[in-house]
Amino acid sequence: MARVAFIGLGNMGGGMAANLAKKGHDVRAFDLSPEALAKAEKAGCLAAASAAEALDGAEAVITMLPAGSHVETVYADAVFAAAPVSAILIDCSTIDVATARRVAEAAQAKGFTMVDAPVSGGIAAASAGTLTFMVGGSAEGFERAQPFLADMGKAVIHAGVGGSGQAAKIVNNMLLGVTMVGTCEAFLLAQKLGLDPQKFFDISSVSSGQSWSMTSYAPLAGVGPDTPADHDYQGGFATALMLKDLRLAMEAASGADADTPMGAKAAELYERFNAQGQGGTDFSGIIRMLDERHSGS
């Protein structure tokens, strides 16, 4: 087992750090929130008083931070100065591709090996240790990071060179946002045409309209498996996080000169839903806004 510095103990990072501790790693955790630190300590981590203290002697450094600006600051001000150059650096934050590549290049210039490894699965998967990691970096970096990521997830996939993990994450979630909006529209139209929602699910889930949004995350209560829709759209994947990923996807599309009209429309709709004060609502709850719009209210 290894000494791991874990920086960023929010809803995702807290569960991830706890799983590393459960696997027997010596996890030195740091976060600006005293409450998050206390929770990590109860989960078996050692609470550090500063990022530098967490980084001292680390064999692996894992960060899970809100945005690219935070990642760039933490690595420039703390990680590069305090972590041993022999440590593998793993950033699991979801940030823009350009920043991910810039930080990785800075790490390489200082002699570090670094990968970007954003996650898919949400808070429940972070706590359960069933995340999927999409990893960008060299073959050596992936090989060194893989054992740590495997202790927090069910799948660890090498997406390509540095920044490729971030690219895979935002493109995947753009597709998820698009399919969820389409699934919501389909359920609403089916109802207006007199179809029973469960009957429509039974048909579409085994037909050409099938998608993960339909089969595993149906946006209507009482239809299909248990989802946030069965809990008043609480829990799951917050609208604010979906919107963050869609904004990143649109930024990346603009930079790559890619035409993404469906992604742009999904982003527009989630911007509107978020503006209604629904940032903490599960992203499938957008069906409520679409229902109001279709009914003319």
Tell me if 129 sits within 8 A of 156, measured CB to CB: no
Whether the Cβ atoms of residue 290 and residue 255 lie closer than 8 Å to each other:
no
H helix count then E strand count, the chain: 14, 9
State how far the alpha carbon of 219 is from the alpha carbons of 32, 99, 224, 282, in Å: 35, 34, 9, 10
Distance CA 160, CA 100 (A): 13
Q: What are the φ and ψ backbone dihedral angles of 148, each rounded to 5 degrees?
A: -70, -40
Phi, psi of 158 (to 5 degrees): -80, 110
- Name, in order, each residue with C-beta under 8 angstroms of 243's C-beta and a sequence gap of 6 or more: 267, 270, 271, 274, 279
**Active-site residue (options: 169, 199, 244, 265):** 169
Q: How far apart are CA 82 and CA 89, in angstroms?
A: 12
Annotation marks residue 169 as catalytic: yes
Dihedral of alpha carbons 277, 188, 249, 151, sign: positive
How far CA 241 is from CA of 12, 89, 283, in Å, comes to: 12, 24, 8
Q: List the one residue out of 161, 98, 101, 107 whose CA is nearest residue 134.
A: 161
Smallest CA-to-CA distance from 213 within 243, 179, 189, 187 is with 179
Active site residues: 169
